[in-house]
Amino acid sequence: MGIKELLIPKDTIFFDLFERQAEIVKEAAHQLITLTEDFTNVKEKRHAIEQLEHKGDQITHDIYEQLNRTFITPLDPEEISRLASTLDEVLDYIDGSAEKMFYYNIESTDSHMIELAKLIHMSTSEIESAVKGIRSIKDPHYIEERCIEVNRLENLADDVLAHAVTDLFKTTDAIKIIKLKDIYEHLEIATDNCEDVANTLSDIAIRHS
Among the residue ranges 8-16, 40-48, 59-67, 116-124, the one whose residues contact its own copies (CB under 8 A)? 59-67
66 lies in the site for its own copies, by CB under 8 A = no
Q: Tell me the number of residues near its own copies by CB under 8 A.
A: 35
DSSP 72: S
Among the residue ranges 19-27, 43-51, 126-134, 169-177, the one whose residues contact its own copies (CB under 8 A)? 169-177
Main-chain phi, psi angles of 153, to 5 degrees: -65, -35
207 lies in the site for its own copies, by CB under 8 A = yes
> Which string of x and - marks every residue 69-88 that binds its own copies (by CB under 8 A)?
--------xx--x---x---
Among 43, 19, 152, CA closest to 99: 43
142 lies in the site for its own copies, by CB under 8 A = no
Cα–Cα distance for residue pair 31/118, rounded to 1 Å: 10
- Least separation in angstroms between residue 1's CB and its own copies is 29
User: Residue 39, class by beta-carbon neighbours within 10 Å (0-12 exposed, 13-18 middle, 19+ buried)?
Assistant: middle
- Least separation in angstroms between residue 148's CB and its own copies is 8
CB 163 within 8 A of CB 203: no
6 lies in the site for its own copies, by CB under 8 A = no
- Least separation in angstroms between residue 77's CB and its own copies is 5
Where b means 16+ CB within 10 Å and e means fewer, 19-30 reads: bbbbbbbbbbbb
Among the residue ranges 3-11, 18-26, 118-126, 198-206, the one whose residues contact its own copies (CB under 8 A)? 198-206
99 lies in the site for its own copies, by CB under 8 A = yes
129 lies in the site for its own copies, by CB under 8 A = no
Residues in contact with 26: Cβ distance below 8 Å, sequence separation at least 6, in sequence order: 121, 124, 125, 127, 128
199 lies in the site for its own copies, by CB under 8 A = yes
DSSP 106: -
